[in-house]
Amino acid sequence: MTTSLPDRVAKPSILTVDDDPGVSRSVARDLRRQYGETYRIVRAESGPQALEALNEIKLRGEEVAAVLADYRMPQMSGIEFLEAAMDLFPAAKRVLLTAYADTDAAIQAINVVDLDHYLLKPWDPPEEKLYPVLDDLLASWLATDRQPVQQVRVIGHRWSSRSYEVRDFLARNSVPYRWYELADGECEARRLLTAAGEDGARLPVVVTPEGDPLIEPSDAELAARVGLSTTPSTDFYDLIVIGGGPAGLGAAVYGGSEGLRTVLVERLATGGQAGTSSRIENYLGFPDGVSGEQLTDRARRQALKFNVEILTTRDVVALEARGSARVVRFGDGTELAAHTVILATGVSYRTLDAPGLDGLAGRGVFYGAATTEGPSCAGSDVYLVGGANSAGQAAMYFARHASDVHIVVRADSLDRSMSRYLIDQIGEVKNIHVLPCTEVVGGTGAEHLETLTLRHNKSGEEQTVPAGWLFAFIGAAPRTDWLDGTLARDERGFVLAGPDLGIPPGWPLDRPPYHLETSLPGVFVAGDVRADSVKRVASAVGEGAMAVTLVHRYLERS
pLDDT over threshold 90, residue 286: no
* Lowest mean pLDDT across 39-43, 128-132, 135-139, 181-185: 181-185
Taking only the tens place, the pLDDT of each residue in 229-260 is: 999 999 999 999 999 999 999 999 999 999 99
Q: Which residues have CB under 8 Å from 440's CB, separation 6+? A: 352, 354, 357, 383, 385, 408, 452, 453, 454, 470
* Lowest mean pLDDT across 38-47, 138-147, 239-248, 473-482: 138-147
pLDDT over threshold 90, residue 66: yes
Query: pLDDT-derived band of residue 4, with 50, 70 and 90 as boundaries?
Result: very low
pLDDT over threshold 60, residue 8: no
- In a 3-state reduction of DSSP, which class is residue 250? helix
Query: pLDDT-derived band of residue 7, with 50, 70 and 90 as boundaries?
Result: very low
Query: pLDDT-derived band of residue 96, with 50, 70 and 90 as boundaries?
Result: confident
Taking only the tens place, the pLDDT of each residue in 364-422 is: 999 887 777 888 888 899 999 999 998 999 999 999 999 999 999 999 999 988 999 99
Q: What is the pLDDT of residue 276?
A: 79
pTM recorded for the entire structure: 0.76
pLDDT over threshold 70, residue 6: no
* Lowest mean pLDDT across 161-165, 223-227, 291-295: 291-295
Q: Please give the average per-residue pLDDT across 106-126, as a whole number.
A: 72
Per-range mean pLDDT, top range of 20-24, 78-82, 211-215, 491-495 = 491-495
Backbone φ and ψ of 181, nearest 5° = -80, 130
Strand pairing partners for 208?
none
Strand ranges (DSSP E) for 232-353?
236-242, 262-265, 309-311, 316-322, 325-330, 335-343
pLDDT over threshold 80, residue 303: yes
pLDDT over threshold 80, residue 278: no
Q: Nearest-CA neighbor of 68 among 104, 26, 37, 100?
A: 26
Q: Please give the average per-residue pLDDT across 482-507, as a whole number.
A: 95
* Lowest mean pLDDT across 101-105, 382-386, 433-437, 507-511: 101-105
Query: pLDDT-derived band of residue 5, with 50, 70 and 90 as boundaries?
Result: very low
Strands 117-120 and 93-98: parallel
Q: What is the pLDDT of residue 146?
A: 64
Query: pLDDT-derived band of residue 14, with 50, 70 and 90 as boundaries?
Result: very high
Strand pairing partners for 471?
366, 384
- Domains plus CATH for the chain? 13-143 (3.40.50.2300), 152-225 (3.40.30.10), 236-348+477-557 (3.50.50.60), 358-472 (3.50.50.60)
Strands 13-17 and 40-44: parallel
